[in-house]
Amino acid sequence: MRKNSVFLKSSLWFITLYCSYFVCFLMWDANESYKQEFPKWVSTTATFSSVADLLLKQGEVYALDDKLSMALANGEIHFYAIRRDGKDVVYANSAGTDDQLQLVDFPGTYESENYRYTVVQAGDFQAAIGHKQGFNEYLKIYLNNRVWLTLIDIFSVLAGTIVISLICFRDLRTILKSLATRGAKRGDLSLGTSHEALTLVRGLSGFEAQADELAKQKEIFRTQVLGALRKELESGRKPPYEFDCTLVRSDINNFTQIFSSDKREAFMEVINDFFIGVTHLVSRYGGSIHEFVGDEVLFYFKDDDHESSSAVAIAALRDINKLAMKMSERTESEGGYAFRIKSSLSHGTLRFGPLVDGFALAGSPLIESVRMLSHVHEKSENTVLFDESLTDSVSGLCRSKRQSVVMLKGLQGARTLVSLEAFTPLSLHLRQGDEKGLKFAKYYRDDQDICEILDFVTTFQGKIDSKDLNRLISMFRSYTVAKSSAAIKRSFIKCLEQTLQVATYNEEQTHLLSSLISAASHILTEKEWFGEIRALMFGCLTHPNRRVVANTLDVFGQFEPAAGERIFNELAKQGDNRIVANLLVKEAKKEWNKKVARKVKAMLGGQSPYAKASGLYALGEISRFLKRTDEVAFSADNEIQTLLEQASKLLSHANAMVVRQAQSVLEKSGRKIEAEVQQTKSNVTPLRRIG
């Protein structure tokens, strides 16, 4: 629920109290005035009654009418009537002609419910002159006479209240604005010009200092604690728990001998570069580094994350062995010695749980992998050993042979060890040209392999079913490339140019084009963006296919959200939900403001479920970005929090697509979804997407 501003609350309280006081004062003043005015009315009525009696006796009826009308206009009397033979000749009343009195025809003083009047008679003529009586009637006159003064008083107080509030709370408003501003320095003491605000700023300053210290400690922690442990700690799962995986242990041959020589420093530089490369490669394949121990590195791939964790492990080892050969070329030329590694694979269950004062992994793969390496005797080549039970899982990626049947110390039963003879090259799978062969491409993520896949797509467009090529390019979406290369950039440019050319006369190629555009943010980095790739992408913004345009906007949002050419404004006017949503994400990354918030709100409030779903997608991406870049500003921003409240209400929408996007928004923003609201998932009506 959105809370009212403290300025608004304080102003409303003050105005309420003032109005209460003002009403009481008016009632008191009216009562006192009534006590003074009523005797004057009685006296004035008596005086004009005497004048009327005299003028009627003289036959000056018109003169009497003039005199009484002037007295009525001046408020000295409230009504008069001149009658002849019981019929009105003149009747005038300050309350209007509708307030017609039933007058008595005989001389004397009379009282009705609201009036007191005197009747005089001379010949055929009668005159009735009177005034209002009763406090309620007087109050109407009193308020009518003071209406403008009352309004001026009220508006003066309102204006004064607003000015005072703005002056008194200006530093507090500045502090609140800094809270909702991304990257602002909220502990700046110059923001506090009052004692209260200074106290708040000092508190924020202490909070920021502590947050900075925690961030530094966290960074130290992240650099000291390897990826596997970090991922498990940040997974949200409560230890202890278990998972199945394939664990790889790679060991550098002849480490002790070289380390003990005078080549130690140069050797350690090589090892450091090698381990950095291993980290990048394991990350590309979605694995986790468990440990670096002297000359060993341990990493694993979870079964839950991969179709075949063993196949992914073999693929990663293929690229790691390539890296080892590059390191060997360096050591042979600089130090005169070869750089070789031996590796073992073990599939099984690992347990993550408390150990001594922290958390650690434990399980048979850790033991089995080290026992396997003890059976490697060949040190002149890079070698890989694994249990024969994994052969079927990795047969499409390598050729292996049975080495020996052994008993591994500490483990039950005999094991048949298999040694890897050769890796299957990517070109062999690509040459098959069918779905079965192309699906193996996801196990090739080295820079050279990425280039080979892009070059293959460039060459075989129009020769192989575009759906197969599209599936091939779509696999890049699962890649995470922290460091790209000039070779990948060249191959990507060549492939994009070819695809753009073919797509101009082949509508089916637009699916391939849109997939290739999306792949850019997965295989390229910002370093490769500017120049030719940006120019080609900019041209895609005018493509007639909405999917192509939307994906291009997404890439601009990743690499260059600040781009501001006229084309972006023109795209916003087209009204396509998907394009507008991606454009809003880009604009929000550039600058989150009320204008962007209003557009997102309009999409969420639209009648079309497609507009709602697109708006929710945009809100989710914006929330994730704002939360990641400055969580304090994200939490303090009223616009984004109000939109998230609106999104939570869509959890009960009748359309399944809208509900899914609403759930995604809350997950991306870090909000919890109430259990009872999640049950609405089973009550929604699916809607088939047709565009």
DSSP secondary structure letters along 340-395: -EEEEEEEEEEEEEEETTEEEEE-HHHHHHHHHHTT----SS-EEEEEGGGHHHHT
Question: What are 512-533's pLDDT values in tens digits?
Answer: 999 999 999 999 999 999 999 9
Phi, psi of 208 (to 5 degrees): -65, -40
In angstroms, how far is the first alpha carbon of the chain from the final one?
A: 35
Distance of CA 455 to the CA centre of its chain: 38
Three-state SS for 52? Answer: helix
Query: Tell me, what's the pLDDT at 410?
Result: 73
| Relative orientation angle of helices 577-590 and 546-559, to the nearest 10 degrees | 10
| C-beta separation of 435 from 468 below 8 A | yes
Contacts with 357 (C-beta within 8 Å, 6 or more apart), sequence order: none
d(CA 374, CA 406): 11
Contacts with 472 (C-beta within 8 Å, 6 or more apart), sequence order: 438, 441, 453, 456, 457
The residue written with tokens 């005038």 in the block is 92
- The encoded tokens of residue 596 equal 């962007």
Query: Tell me, what's the pLDDT at 400?
Result: 92
Question: What are 419-436's pLDDT values in tens digits?
Answer: 999 999 999 999 887 778
d(CA 582, CA 589): 11
Lowest mean pLDDT among 212-226, 270-284, 391-405, 406-420: 212-226
d(CA 437, CA 231): 33
Question: How much is the mean pLDDT over the chain?
Answer: 82
Radius of gyration of the chain (CA): 44
Three-state SS for 669? Answer: coil
Q: Give 385's strand partners.
A: 344, 419
Within 519-581, strands assigned E span none
Q: Give 416's strand partners.
A: 405
Res 326 pLDDT > 60? yes
Contacts with 439 (C-beta within 8 Å, 6 or more apart), sequence order: 471
Query: Tell me, what's the pLDDT at 663?
Result: 93
Question: What are 186-245's pLDDT values in tens digits?
Answer: 555 455 555 566 666 666 666 666 666 666 665 655 554 556 666 776 677 888 999 999
Question: What are 148-193's pLDDT values in tens digits?
Answer: 666 777 777 777 766 766 666 666 666 666 665 665 555 554 555 5
Question: What are 575-607's pLDDT values in tens digits?
Answer: 889 999 999 999 999 988 889 999 999 999 988
Three-state SS for 7? Answer: helix
- The encoded tokens of residue 403 equal 């080495």
Q: What percent of the chain has pLDDT over 90?
A: 37
d(CA 402, CA 406): 11
pTM: 0.68
Question: What are 102-138's pLDDT values in tens digits?
Answer: 777 788 888 777 778 888 888 888 888 887 766 666 6
Contacts with 196 (C-beta within 8 Å, 6 or more apart), sequence order: 172
d(CA 433, CA 435): 7
Res 54 pLDDT > 90? no
Query: Tell me, what's the pLDDT at 387?
Result: 92
d(CA 307, CA 388): 19
SS (H, E, C) 176-187: HHHHCCCCCCCC
Give exposure, 196-225, as e/b (b: 16+ Cβ within 10 Å).
ebeebbeebbeeeeeeeeeeeeeeeeeeee
Domains of the chain: 6-140 (3.40.1840.10), 175-224 (no CATH), 226-424 (3.30.70.1230), 466-482+511-683 (1.25.10)
d(CA 42, CA 562): 82
d(CA 659, CA 648): 9
